[in-house]
Amino acid sequence: LMRLGECFPQTMIVMLLYLSTYMGVVVAQTIALTVALGGNITEEKIQSELVTVTVILLITMLVKFLVISPLNIGTTWWLIHSSRGEKNNVGYIFICFKNIKIYIKSILLRAVISLTKLVLSAPLMICIYLGGVLRNTAFEDIDNSATYIILGVCSTLILLFMLAFYVWITLGFELCNPLFSLNPDKKISEIISSSITAVKNNRVRLVKLLLSFSGWAVSLIFVVPLFFVIPYFAMSYAVMLNDILTREIYLTGGTLGRNYVSYYNTLR
């Protein structure tokens, strides 16, 4: 709240720029699909135009990745530096687009993280699939529906456990963006390794922070609080990440990042 009080308008603009760009790409994807399907978005129509739908999805997903990934890191860059008391122009959220080397590396970093998360989510996808099979079978086999319902409940419990485990594991990637923002010269493998190491003893803190905003999340149904809650959460999360980085670098004698300075200053 203290940091937000010093730069609330800028933080709100930064988050609006990021979210509006993201939503703009999503809307463009939806429009492209609607036009391709002639405005008839039904399961039957999608199946009959599966190739067209797949091509459109792949193209729009690629565009989204090429635009959102650098913007995601640029937004983190601005938030991390603001959480450290620095004053920066909101235009710096687009800073990854100003240097081809940083731009490509930012995309590669997010691609590696996304692919890793996708692989880690495989057990979740299997549980969801099995849950759907058990549910459909229960409706079809009325005589043994009770057995399938019990199995479905067990499957759901396992799914919830695996979801919690997935979140717990993937929290290890949360410091990748800040580490890249503060030292983009580091190798991608080193950034990911450093992030996992730094987050290792701080997962509970991150989870507590996320849960502490559950009440604020409910208030978003009234729309107006959104313009305060999103900047508030973004800055709070940035402060937490910066605190973890600082503590872990200090505790490990600086092994997580010897050049804990912004390379981007050379781009100004």
Average pLDDT, rounded, for the chain: 82
Query: Residue 181: which of 200, 195, 169 has the closest Cα?
Result: 195
Listed as ranges, residues in the chain with pLDDT below 70 are 37, 39-50, 134-136, 138-148, 249-268
What confidence score (pLDDT) does residue 122 get?
Answer: 87
Instruction: Please report how the helices 188-199 and 100-120 are oriented relative to each other, as an axis angle in degrees rounded to 10.
Output: 50
Q: Are 164 and 195 in contact (CB under 8 A)?
A: no
- Cβ(95)–Cβ(80) below 8 Å: no
CA dihedral 177, 183, 188, 189 (to 10 degrees): -100
pLDDT for the residue 171:
92
- For tokens 């090429």, what's the residue? 66
Q: What is the dihedral of CA 221, 224, 227, 230, to 10 degrees?
A: -20
* pLDDT of the residue at 265: 47
How many Å apart are CA 226 and CA 208, to the nearest integer?
A: 21
Tell me the two tokens of residue 30. 């939806």
* Alpha-carbon gap, residue 53 to 37, rounded angstroms: 8
Distance CA 133, CA 141 (A): 12
At residue 183's C-alpha, the angle toward residues 207 and 63, to 5°, is: 75
Give residue 47's pLDDT: 63
Q: What is the CA radius of gyration of the chain?
A: 22
